[in-house]
A and B are shown apart, each in its own frame.
Chain A
């Protein structure tokens, strides 16, 4: 099963770099996360379950808006299980600070005005970190999408609806792919 998940991960990276002809690869980094390494506990329900910080660079020219999805392709029926989905992120932003709001009444921090958290797999509009069944490491794709226009999306979209809305508008994407295991 671990092999299966790894194969999907490789596939996803391959897709990220070649999916759209001429699409550029965004460099996605994080002071807290690293591809292939364990997510620190504070970004999981084994800790405070804050949303992790992300940064992005090398946005394609003409980026007007960004979206972020955190998905586990080794879970869900059918996969993936979505942990986090944001869209409407201003195109001139450079990343997300840790601990974005988990209450509807709390606004997004400065620089992220207008960003909306959509419905994750639990149907709630916030980040919930890795909570895999014990005994096997899962792989979490934090994917950043750069879009060629502001999509003007309303609240409450899930991943399928977001992908449909972004179709044809993705200038480039990039991801960071940490892991997590519970014991």
Chain B
């Protein structure tokens, strides 16, 4: 095993979270090494090719994630199953290279779910079996970092609440922000205008969704071209603000960031006093040890948990930072279930759009409506996007009207390819005692290391949210003139997801949380964790902006308190 020169900070994973953290650290003058399992990709790799992006899941990129797909079961009484592809990818920029780039702040309620629910509806409203806690701080604490990421990375959107002043064209339910977005929202098209009108007709408050995508030239990069291959596609003009084209290059320019690609981390080493001493990794079949004064784990929820559990030592026999058995606990994922699909009697002209181009409704999200007569807490965001690709269109639902092949099918698809729409409900999801991650006892990766096992099931609260919010979506579709509407069910077990939270939860109490309010392990003071694995609630919105704001905040803390944390 080759020992490399020591660095101040080793960051494991250069995705959305690790990719922002390296900038404040490098700008603070710390010597940072980013260990990334994938490789560097550029705009030339991002062709408008549905087969490559969507059918074959990026065969030209590193397939490490596909070699360690977690197993899944609903509860410990169910057998596990395993999918054939992983929804995340490896690369400099990680999944932020091809993600949908929806970039939301959480609602203030998401930080204080327990106390707010208790105050408004009574403590008995917290679902049985849930291990939910208030976050150790509120929205106001995180607001400066939300603002920082929005301006440094580049988020386009329409503000709804600027320092308490409500702007009705934005999200009137959002927490107050210091200032507007740096760029206006992505454009709407005729169909989206129509959906917004239908929502207003129902008395709802539609607004354009925020995205980590340039709506106009920004920081010397192009604005979005709306070419229609953004869904799991990289951006050919660098308008999608992955960390690969925003914070990582700026960090490299300081001269203080070294990036090692094709680096597969296998363990975090610990010294005699119980402090992290560095990261072991394999590159091209060779083993290396990267010593560091501090380690930031940023390899996404499943891998963060896995690396900790695999990093056993005398001082941490159950895995690093796991002496309170909290690693893997309080796991949840929250989206792409409870779908609703619709058929409109007119063409939507949706061939040139993107998933982040859309109309949002938050009237039924979070605690934005009175749950007085209802049997659940939280809610769901409704999101109507405009995005369509050919193979995807040919795979449209036929609403049981025609068979799935043959001349009748062909005629149906020919007439309706541009008339089909679907949505998923992204909803509040709480952590539960029985939902957790651990190491699978039998499935292993090619290095012989166990993969993660997900034991997680949607509970009554979340199913009730789905039922309720799906019905709202049906209402919206009907109000907009849909002639067919179909609600879908959801699986019993939570599948492997791009929105996976928990496993290294953040909180003041070391008995129930892995990291403290700054993101550092209660047990290992120079080990920080970045990403949605520190989040204790999901909210009804995408996690990435929050994960990035938290990551930047943890990095700032590390830089400011360097001698205290790194010793």
Contact = CB atoms under 8 A, between A and B. Distances in A.
Contacts of B272: none
B403 A104 contact: yes
Interface residues of B, number: 7
A131 to B, nearest CB: 18
A155 to B, nearest CB: 8
Contacts of B3: none
B343 to A, nearest CB: 14
Contacts of B403: 104, 124-125
A127 to B, nearest CB: 14
Nearest to A102: B403
Interface in B393-411: 400-403, 406-408
Contacts of A159: none
B287 to A, nearest CB: 50
B400 A123 contact: yes
> In terms of DSSP, what is the predominant structure of the interface of chain B?
loop
Interface string B524-541: 000000000000000000
B400 A105 contact: no
Interface string B387-425: 000000000000011110011100000000000000000
B408 A105 contact: yes
B408 A119 contact: no
B406 A103 contact: yes
Interface string A3-27: 0000000000000000000000000
A156 interface: yes
B408 A104 contact: yes
Contacts of A155: 401
Contact of B400 (A103, A104, A119): A119
Nearest to B409: A104
Contacts of A105: 407-408
B407 A156 contact: no
Nearest to A155: B401
A125 B399 CA distance: 13
Interface string A102-118: 01110000000000000
Contacts of A104: 402-403, 406, 408
Contacts of B408: 103-105
Interface in A18-57: none
Interface string A140-157: 000000000000000110
Nearest to A119: B400
Most-contacted residue by chain A among B400, B407, B408 (CB, 10 A): B400
Contacts of A156: 400-401
Most-contacted residue by chain B among A104, A124, A125, A156 (CB, 10 A): A104
Contacts of A119: 400
Nearest to B401: A156
Interface string A77-112: 000000000000000000000000001110000000
Nearest to B406: A103
A123 B402 CA distance: 10
Most-contacted residue by chain A among B403, B407, B408 (CB, 10 A): B403
Contacts of B400: 119, 123, 156
A149 to B, nearest CB: 25
Nearest to B403: A124
Contacts of B407: 105
A133 B400 CA distance: 27
A123 B400 CA distance: 7
A49 B452 CA distance: 45
A62 B251 CA distance: 85
A3 to B, nearest CB: 28
Interface in A113-139: 119, 123-125
Contacts of A103: 406, 408
Nearest to A156: B400
A183 B363 CA distance: 57
A82 to B, nearest CB: 14
Contacts of A124: 403
Nearest to B399: A156
A125 B408 CA distance: 13
B487 to A, nearest CB: 15
Contacts of B401: 155-156
A103 to B, nearest CB: 7
A125 B401 CA distance: 9
Nearest to A124: B403
9 nearest CB pairs, A to B: A104-B408, A156-B400, A124-B403, A119-B400, A104-B402, A123-B400, A105-B407, A156-B401, A105-B408
Interface of B: 400-403, 406-408
Interface of A: 103-105, 119, 123-125, 155-156
13 contacts: A103-B408, A104-B402, A104-B406, A104-B408, A105-B407, A105-B408, A119-B400, A123-B400, A124-B403, A125-B403, A155-B401, A156-B400, A156-B401
Given A104-B406, A105-B408, A156-B401, 12 more contacts: A103-B406, A103-B408, A104-B402, A104-B403, A104-B408, A105-B407, A119-B400, A123-B400, A124-B403, A125-B403, A155-B401, A156-B400
